[in-house]
């Protein structure tokens, strides 16, 4: 859930709850004020009756007004307790009289407020019931209520909008920092730019992010430099071993065991050498040190590579079929050669005698398929460093190198296993 | 031929010296920049093997010195730096070839032989070994008067053997020479065997002696002894 949505939700709920509570209190207060106003009217009316009775010593004539009814009923002495009541006001429709509520054509009951009192006229005891219609009061309350609701709604809407506006603006530096973080690439030369903000928290966050990225980059570079230097330093001893071996085999008379040992040594040294070269190459690709680019006709290059491997195809009895279309790319010839060579070497190495290899070059992709083990490889692992099958004699870096080369030219290298063919696809 | 090896790494220097020392060759060595520079200015060599990174100076300066003084010596740079820039720098300064460490001594020998051949004979010569005659320009091989049809790789292989005649050349070295070091086929060098078998068969069918000997399963030796 977005921060804004979360914030709005909490905000809205509390606002609505608070508004509802205040609304109820407001309603109660208004209706109490209006009822006491009614009661005052009723007391005035009662007083008028008392005055009339005192003056004339008989009951006033009952009359009916728009919103007041008085009834007198005789009652046993002292049986009436003076009280205010909520009652029903029965309204008769009077067709001659102009009505306030014209749409009401029938007699109707309305909410009313009544005062029960008593009066003594001579020796007679009467119960007075004065009832006043509360319809005006209720109309008033309704109006007030509607206005309040409108105000609340307006308030809520403005709140939501201002919140959105303010939050979006307030949080913009945060989103900017997030964007930079997402774009962060440890191998990139560029640093994370600092985001302009006046908010202390974001400035702190930004500083922390910039510091962290800088440190990560520094560590990464140190590690990379170490790899490079270590590989470089290894070159000389490997060169010495190699040359000593070359010298050693010039001496005569080796037993079968000795020559086997020497052969194994040669193999190990050449593997060590290739491993070292691969590591150096990876560092170079990652450092973008091989930036010299030139237009390359991929068809010609592929044909050349295929020619290079011709004897090996024959030796392993591998059927090669290829369809190559013209395709020109701009890249480092050295790297593209390495990539093709690695992929073809893999296709040969992981093949079986009498297997087949298909190479398809189109305008948008280069596909290299080979038969081999009937199990699919793990696509998420094969491009990682030093991942290789137990039987493989390679360095475990070949596909990593291919992947890095593709990445540096924005090609995508994918693996799929289809119809018992291991397929590597480079999409340009 | 007369060769100067300027290389600070003792082990490597000794191996190269030993490999190149044979009848008719004079090998001199220089263990550092200063000695190298003074030897270059005192004597003339057919080929100078020049290391670039030395503790007391860059081999590039020696190369510059050779070119400024118009010495005709062939120069082959041996360097641990395998970047195109370094390679181009070296070649632009007038080096004849550039070999990256680590390398096989047989590869070094083949390169040095090629440089000296170009220097001495102007690049248009017949290479002779007993009854084998190779026209380096037209890349034609003859045994006696009989032409031998070799594929490009077989031709390269024969030249490689001739440059290293009398030496045991390892299978690794042959594979890397013919297929490049990117070949990465590890210990599977069966395809070299069939290749060598073909060359030997073609040569012998044309009436050539059997000069290619297998050496203890490690490599091959081209020799008439």
Residue in B105, B171, B219 closest to A247 by CB? B105
Q: Using CA of residue B25, residue B31, residue B33, residue B34, what is the dihedral sign?
A: negative
Contacts of A137 (CB under 8 A, 6+ apart): A31, A34, A35, A37, A38, A113
pLDDT of residue A372: 85
Report how many domains make up chain A: 3
Q: How many CB atoms lie within 10 A of CB A35?
A: 15
Strands A365-370 and A356-361: antiparallel
- Residue A93 pLDDT > 60: no
Out of B102, B121, B140, a domain closes at: B121
Q: What is the pTM of this model?
A: 0.66
**Predicted confidence (pLDDT) at residue A103 exceeds the cutoff of 70:** no
User: Cβ separation of A266 and B188 shorter than 8 Å?
Assistant: no
The domain in which residue B18 lies consists of 2-121
Chain A / chain B CB contacts < 8 angstroms: 132
Query: Which pLDDT value is given to residue B183?
Result: 60
A334 has a pLDDT exceeding 60: yes
B137 and B203: one domain? yes
DSSP secondary structure of A154-204: HHHHHHHHHHHHHHHHHHHHHHHHHHHHHH--TT-SSPPPPPP---HHHHH
- A166 within some domain: no
pLDDT of residue B219: 85
Cα distances (Å, whole numbers) of residue B117 to A162, B49, B111, B121, B162: 86, 15, 10, 6, 12
pLDDT at A98: 47
Shared-domain flag, residues A236 and A314: no
B218 → closest Cβ in A259, A284, A345? A259
Q: Which domain holds residue A71?
A: 3-158
> Looking up tokens 């005035």, which residue turns up?
A44
User: Is the model's pLDDT at A316 over the cut of 90?
Assistant: no
CB contact under 8 A, A342 and B218: no
The two beta strands, B146-148 and B140-143, are antiparallel
Q: At A102, is the pLDDT very low, low, confident or very high (cuts 50, 70, 90)?
A: very low
Same domain, A408 and A310: yes
Quick one: B165 and B185 in the same domain? yes
- The beta strands (E) that lie in chain B are given as 2-6, 26-30, 47-51, 53-54, 57-58, 74-79, 97-100, 126-129, 132-135, 140-143, 146-148, 168-170, 212-215, 219-222
Q: How many domains does chain B have?
A: 2
pLDDT digits (tens, 9 = 90+) for A227-253: 778 877 888 889 999 899 988 888 878
Q: What angle do CA B163, B167, B172 make, to 5 degrees?
A: 85
Do A428 and A364 contact (CB within 8 A), yes or no? Answer: yes
B8 shares its domain with B104: yes
A 230-259 → B contacts, CB under 8 A: 232, 235-236, 238-247, 249-250, 254, 256, 258-259
Residues of B in contact with A243 (CB under 8 A): 11-12, 15-16, 19, 102, 104-105
| Segments of chain B scoring below 70 in pLDDT | 82-84, 121-124, 181-189
Q: Last residue of a domain, which of A286, A316, A331?
A: A286
pLDDT band at A291 (very low <50, low <70, confident <90, very high): low
A306-335: average pLDDT = 86
* pLDDT for the residue numbered A290: 64
> pLDDT by residue (tens digit) across B70-115?
998 999 999 887 666 777 888 888 899 999 888 899 999 999 988 9
Q: Which residue of A has its CA nearest to B169?
A: A246
Q: What is the pLDDT of residue B128?
A: 83
- Tell me if A181 is assigned to some domain: no
CA B158 to chain centre: 13
What is the interface pTM, i.e. ipTM, of the complex? 0.86
In a domain, A91, yes or no: yes
User: B40 and B66 share a domain?
Assistant: yes
Is A90 within 8 Å of A114 (Cβ atoms)? no
Residue A197, pLDDT > 90, answer no
pLDDT at A105 over 60: no
Angle at A14 between CA A10 and CA A18, to 5 degrees: 175
Neighbours of B150 (CB within 10 A): 19
Model pLDDT, residue B124:
58
Query: Residues of B with CB below 8 A from A391's CB?
Result: none
A334, B84: Cβ pair inside 8 Å? yes
Domain boundary (B105, B121, B137) is at: B121
Say whether both A235 and A153 belong to one domain: no
* Same-domain pairing of A249 and A301: no
In a shared domain, residues B8 and B107: yes
Domain boundary among A158, A190, A221: A158
Give exposure, B23-42, as e/b (b: 16+ Cβ within 10 Å).
Answer: eeeebebbeebeebbebbee
Cis amide bond preceding B102, omega within 30: yes
Name residues 343-402 of chain A within 8 A of B (Cβ): 345, 348-349, 393-395, 398
Centre a 10 Å sphere on the Cβ of residue A191 and count the other Cβ atoms it contains.
12
A235/B101 Cβ within 8 A: yes
Mean pLDDT of A289-295: 75
Chain B closest CA to A182's CA: distance in Å? 33
Pick from B88, B121, B154: which residue ends a domain? B121
Whether residue A234 is contained in a domain is answered as: yes
Is the pLDDT at A99 greater than 50, yes or no?
no
Residue of A nearest to B191 (CA): A315
Q: Are residues A132 and A262 in the same domain?
A: no
A266 interface with B at CB cutoff 8 Å: yes
Check residue B6 and give its pLDDT. 94
Q: How confident is the model at residue A92 (pLDDT cuts 50, 70, 90)?
A: low
**Same-domain status, A308 and A263:** no
The Cα B96–Cα B76 span in angstroms is: 6
């Amino acid at each position: 859930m977005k921060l804004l949505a979360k914030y709005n939700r909490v905000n809205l709920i509390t606002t609505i709850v608070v508004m509802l509570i205040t609304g109820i209190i407001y309603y109660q207060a208004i209706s109490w004020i209006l009822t006491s106003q009614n009661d005052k009217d009723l007391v005035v009316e009662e007083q008028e009756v008392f005055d009339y009775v005192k003056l004339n010593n008989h009951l006033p004539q009952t009359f009916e007004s728009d919103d007041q009814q008085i009834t007198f009923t005789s009652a046993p002495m002292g049986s009436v307790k003076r009280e205010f009541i909520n009652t029903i006001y029965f309204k008769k429709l009077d067709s001659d009289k102009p009505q306030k509520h014209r749409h009401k054509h029938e007699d109707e009951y309305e909410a009313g407020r009544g005062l029960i009192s008593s009066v003594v006229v001579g020796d007679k005891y009467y119960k007075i019931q004065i009832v006043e219609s509360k319809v005006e009061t209720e109309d008033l309350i309704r109006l007030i209520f509607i206005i309040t609701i409108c105000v609340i709604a307006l308030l809520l809407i403005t709140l939501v909008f201002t919140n959105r506006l303010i939050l979006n603006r307030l949080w913009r530096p945060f989103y900017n920092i997030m964007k930079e973080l997402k774009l962060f690439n440890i191998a990139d030369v560029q640093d994370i730019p600092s985001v302009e903000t006046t908010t202390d928290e974001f400035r702190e966050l930004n500083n922390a992010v910039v510091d962290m990225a800088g440190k990560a980059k520094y560590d990464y570079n140190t590690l990379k430099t170490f790899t490079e230097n270590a590989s470089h330093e290894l070159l000389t001893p490997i060169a010495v071993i190699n040359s000593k071996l070359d010298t050693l085999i010039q001496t005569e008379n080796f037993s079968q065991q000795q020559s086997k040992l020497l052969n194994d040594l040669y193999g190990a040294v050449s593997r060590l050498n290739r491993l070292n070269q691969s590591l150096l190459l990876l560092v170079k690709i990652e450092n973008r040190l091989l930036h010299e680019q030139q237009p390359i006709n991929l068809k010609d290059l592929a044909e050349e590579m295929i020619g290079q491997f011709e004897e090996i195809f024959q030796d392993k009895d591998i059927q090669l079929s290829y369809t190559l279309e013209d395709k020109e790319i701009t890249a480092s010839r050295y790297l593209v050669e390495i990539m093709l060579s690695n992929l073809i070497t893999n296709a040969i190495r992981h093949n079986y005698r009498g297997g087949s290899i298909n190479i398809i070059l189109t305008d948008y992709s280069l596909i290299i398929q080979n038969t081999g083990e009937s199990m699919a490889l793990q696509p998420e692992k094969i491009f990682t460093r030093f991942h290789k099958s137990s039987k493989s004699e390679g360095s475990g870096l070949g596909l990593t190198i291919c992947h890095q080369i593709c990445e540096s030219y924005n090609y995508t290298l994918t693996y799929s296993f289809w119809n018992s063919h291991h397929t590597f696809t480079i999409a340009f | 031929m007369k060769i100067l090896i300027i290389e600070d790494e003792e082990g490597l220097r000794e191996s190269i010296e030993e490999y190149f020392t044979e009848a008719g060759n004079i090998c001199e060595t220089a263990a550092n920049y200063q000695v190298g520079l003074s030897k270059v200015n005192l004597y003339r060599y057919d080929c100078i093997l020049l290391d670039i990174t030395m503790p007391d100076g860059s081999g590039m300066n020696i190369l510059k010195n050779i070119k400024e003084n118009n010495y005709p010596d062939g120069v082959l740079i041996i360097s641990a730096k395998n970047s195109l820039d370094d390679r181009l720098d070296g070649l632009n300064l007038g080096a004849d070839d550039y070999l990256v460490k680590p390398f096989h001594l047989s590869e070094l020998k083949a390169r040095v032989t090629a440089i000296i051949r170009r220097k001495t004979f102007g690049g248009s010569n017949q290479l002779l070994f007993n009854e084998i005659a190779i026209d380096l320009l037209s890349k034609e091989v003859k045994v006696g008067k009989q032409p031998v049809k070799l594929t490009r790789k077989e031709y390269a292989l024969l030249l490689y053997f001739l440059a290293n005649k009398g030496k045991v050349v390892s299978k690794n070295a042959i594979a890397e020479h013919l297929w490049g070091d990117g070949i990465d086929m590890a210990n599977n060098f069966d395809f070299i065997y069939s290749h060598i078998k073909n060359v030997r068969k073609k040569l012998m069918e044309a009436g050539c002696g059997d000069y290619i000997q297998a050496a203890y399963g490690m490599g091959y030796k081209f020799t008439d002894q």
